[in-house]
A and B are shown apart, each in its own frame.
Chain A
Amino acid sequence: MAKYYQPEIETASQEQIRAWQNERLVEQVKHVWNDVPYYRKKMEEKGVTPDDIKSVDDLYKLPFLTKDDLREAYPYGLMGKPASECVRIQSTSGTTGKRVVAFYTQHDVDLWEDCCARAIVAVGGTKDDVCHVAYGYGLFTGGAGLHGGSHKVGCLTLPMSSGNTDRQLQFMTDLGSTIICCTPSYAAYLAESIYEKGIRDQIKLKAGIFGAEAWSEEMRRDIEEKLGIRAYDIYGLTEISGPGVSFECEAQMGMHINEDHFIAEIIDPDTGEVLPEGEKGELVFTCITKEAFPLIRYRTRDICVLSRKPCPCGRTHVKMSKPMGRSDDMLIIRGVNVFPSQIETVLIEQGYPANYQIIVDRVNNSDTFEVMVEMSPENFSDSLKKITEMEKSLVGALKAMLGIAAKVKLVAPKTIARSEGKAVRVIDKRKI
Chain B
Amino acid sequence: MNIYQISVFLENRAGQLSEITKLLADNGINLRAISIAETSDYGVLRMIADDAERASSILLEQGNIISMTPVSVVAVPDRPAGLSEVLSIIAEAGIDIEYMYSLFTHADDKAYMVFRVDGEEKLSSAIKAHDMEMATKEEIGLK
Binding site for B on A (CB under 8 A): 375-377, 380-385, 387-388, 409-415
In whole angstroms, how far apart are the Cα atoms of A413 and B16 in the complex? 13
Q: Is the CB of A384 within 8 A of B44?
A: yes
Partner of A410, one of B5, B41, B66, B98: B41
CB of B55, distance to nearest CB on chain A (Å): 15
In whole angstroms, how far apart are the Cα atoms of A415 and B65 in the complex? 12
Q: Is the CB of B7 within 8 A of A381?
A: yes
8 closest residue pairs by CB, A with B: A382-B7, A382-B69, A384-B37, A412-B11, A380-B65, A375-B9, A375-B65, A410-B42
Partner of B44, one of A376, A387, A413: A387
B86-134: which have CB < 8 Å to A?
98, 116
Residues of B within 8 A of A411 (CB): 11, 42
Q: Is the CB of B39 within 8 A of A380?
A: no
In whole angstroms, how far apart are the Cα atoms of A124 and B83 in the complex? 77
Residues of A within 8 A of B42 (CB): 375, 387, 410-411
In whole angstroms, how far apart are the Cα atoms of A380 and B5 in the complex? 14
Question: From A388, which residue of chain B is reached at the shortest CB distance?
Answer: B39
Question: From B45, which residue of chain A is reached at the shortest CB distance?
Answer: A382
B64 contacts A by Cβ under 8 Å: yes
Interface residue tally on B, bucketed by range: 20 to 34
Q: Is the CB of A377 within 8 A of B65?
A: yes
Residues of B within 8 A of A380 (CB): 7, 9, 65-67
* Contact residues of A: prevailing secondary structure: loop
Q: Is the CB of A409 within 8 A of B98?
A: no
Residues of B within 8 A of A375 (CB): 9, 42, 65
CB of B60, distance to nearest CB on chain A (Å): 9
Question: From B16, which residue of chain A is reached at the shortest CB distance?
Answer: A412
Question: From A384, which residue of chain B is reached at the shortest CB distance?
Answer: B37
Binding site for A on B (CB under 8 A): 5, 7, 9-11, 16, 37-39, 41-42, 44, 46, 63-67, 69, 98, 116
Question: From B7, which residue of chain A is reached at the shortest CB distance?
Answer: A382
In whole angstroms, how far apart are the Cα atoms of A409 and B67 in the complex? 20
- Contacts beyond the supplied A384-B37, A413-B64: 12 A-B pairs with Cβ under 8 Å: A375-B42, A380-B7, A380-B9, A381-B7, A381-B67, A382-B5, A410-B9, A412-B9, A412-B64, A413-B63, A414-B63, A415-B11
In whole angstroms, how far apart are the Cα atoms of A382 and B37 in the complex? 9
In whole angstroms, how far apart are the Cα atoms of A415 and B42 in the complex? 13
Task: Assess A382 versus B116: contact at CB under 8 Å? Given A409-B41, A411-B11.
Answer: yes
Task: Assess A382 versus B46: contact at CB under 8 Å? Given A409-B41, A414-B63.
Answer: yes
Among B37, B42, B63, residue most surrounded by chain A Cβ atoms (within 10 Å): B42
In whole angstroms, how far apart are the Cα atoms of A259 and B46 in the complex? 66
In whole angstroms, how far apart are the Cα atoms of A387 and B42 in the complex? 10
Q: Is the CB of A384 within 8 A of B39?
A: yes
Residues of A within 8 A of B39 (CB): 384, 388
Residues of B within 8 A of A410 (CB): 9, 11, 41-42
In whole angstroms, how far apart are the Cα atoms of A5 and B67 in the complex? 68
In whole angstroms, how far apart are the Cα atoms of A147 and B77 in the complex? 76
Residues of B within 8 A of A387 (CB): 42, 44
Question: From B42, which residue of chain A is reached at the shortest CB distance?
Answer: A410
Residues of B within 8 A of A377 (CB): 65-67
A-B contact pairs, 18 of them (CB 8 A): A376-B65, A377-B66, A380-B7, A380-B9, A381-B7, A381-B69, A382-B5, A382-B46, A382-B69, A382-B116, A383-B44, A383-B98, A409-B41, A412-B11, A413-B63, A413-B64, A413-B65, A414-B63
Q: Is the CB of B67 within 8 A of A382?
A: yes
Residues of A within 8 A of B65 (CB): 375-377, 380, 412-413
In whole angstroms, how far apart are the Cα atoms of A412 and B11 in the complex? 6
Residues of B within 8 A of A383 (CB): 44, 98, 116
In whole angstroms, how far apart are the Cα atoms of A117 and B39 in the complex? 51
In whole angstroms, how far apart are the Cα atoms of A410 and B11 in the complex? 8
Residues of B within 8 A of A381 (CB): 7, 67, 69
Residues of B within 8 A of A413 (CB): 63-65
CB of B74, distance to nearest CB on chain A (Å): 18
